Chain A
Amino acid sequence: MKERIQRVYVPMTETGFYILFCLQEEMHGYNIGRKVKEMTGGEVTISPGTMYGTLAKMDKDGLISFVREEEKRKIYRITELGYEILHIELHRIERLYKNSRGEYRNGR
């Protein structure tokens, strides 16, 4: 199960990464969109159709789960599995970043 999810989600798209990252706090779709805009200085936009579809897919795959509904807005939060995938992805991004600056894994 986890292997399959990992194959599908790692490496992640920007949309997938930011949604999962934001959902470490409970949030609904539109707020995720706003926060991502703010975090990236407007460089990353997640439009409503993409947001809706990605949330539905991540929910189905068990990376996030529905918490409650507030005024017709579904609030989600990351799950255990979601954390695992997020950490794998964060580790990968960190490695890319370090390597790109000439740093090697064994600390030279």
Chain B
Amino acid sequence: MAGDAHGGSHGGGHIMPVYMLVFTFAALIILTILTVLVTRVDLGGTLNLSIALIIATVKAALVCLYFMHLRYDRPFNSIILGACVLFVILFLGLSTIDTEQYRDEIHWRQVELSRGP
């Protein structure tokens, strides 16, 4: 009895149609090829990096939303991921700003390790 009662729903576990998974997979492969190809075009370091990161973020979003069912899951799970990403950005951002600020005030030791004896 109990098994039947819980059998169908499984607490709202969402079933993703297979064609959606295939589409997502195809999109991920295409984006991977795209990101490799874009690198071969010189758009200036910053733009190249931005494009690479945007593509990576889109790919990550696809994986999260469809492979990981986040789009159909409880919103709180997305909030957790979002909060974590926010704190990662906070951590990276403030550390990078600071190191950039004091970079000119320090002598960066240049170590050459490749010399033979």
Please indicate whether A and B come from the same complex rather than being unrelated chains.
no
**Interface positions of A (Cβ within 8 A of B):** none
**Interface positions of B (Cβ within 8 A of A):** none
